[in-house]
Amino acid sequence: MSDRTAVIMLACAMTVLVAVLVGGAAGYLARRDHATYSTAVTRAALAFAATLTLAATVTSALANTFS
């Protein structure tokens, strides 16, 4: 495995980890706001998806800028 591949895999893992943490925090805050479990899971899933979408958009913009 080359160094470039290792860095790309590490960046992907870190992005997914951050998205999971954001989703968990959103679900926790929803439950603290007395939301039902299904509403809290929905908010967590939306936050997770939004974080991954934002990361993909920023990555694409940076890739187009530097190439």
What tokens appear for 30 in the block?
A: 């929803």
Q: Does 60 reside within a domain?
A: no
Domain that includes residue 25, residue range:
18-55
How many structural domains is the chain composed of? 1
Q: Is the pTM of this model over 0.85?
A: yes
Q: Does 27 reside within a domain?
A: yes
What tokens appear for 67 in the block?
A: 């190439």
User: In terms of C-beta distances under 8 Å and separation of at least 24 residues, what long-range contacts does 5-12 make, across chains too?
Assistant: none
What tokens appear for 25 in the block?
A: 């925090």
- Residue 21 to residue 10: CA distance in whole angstroms: 16
pLDDT in tens, 5-61: 999 899 999 999 999 999 999 999 999 999 999 999 999 999 999 999 999 999 999
**Res 21: pLDDT:** 98
Q: Does 5 reside within a domain?
A: no
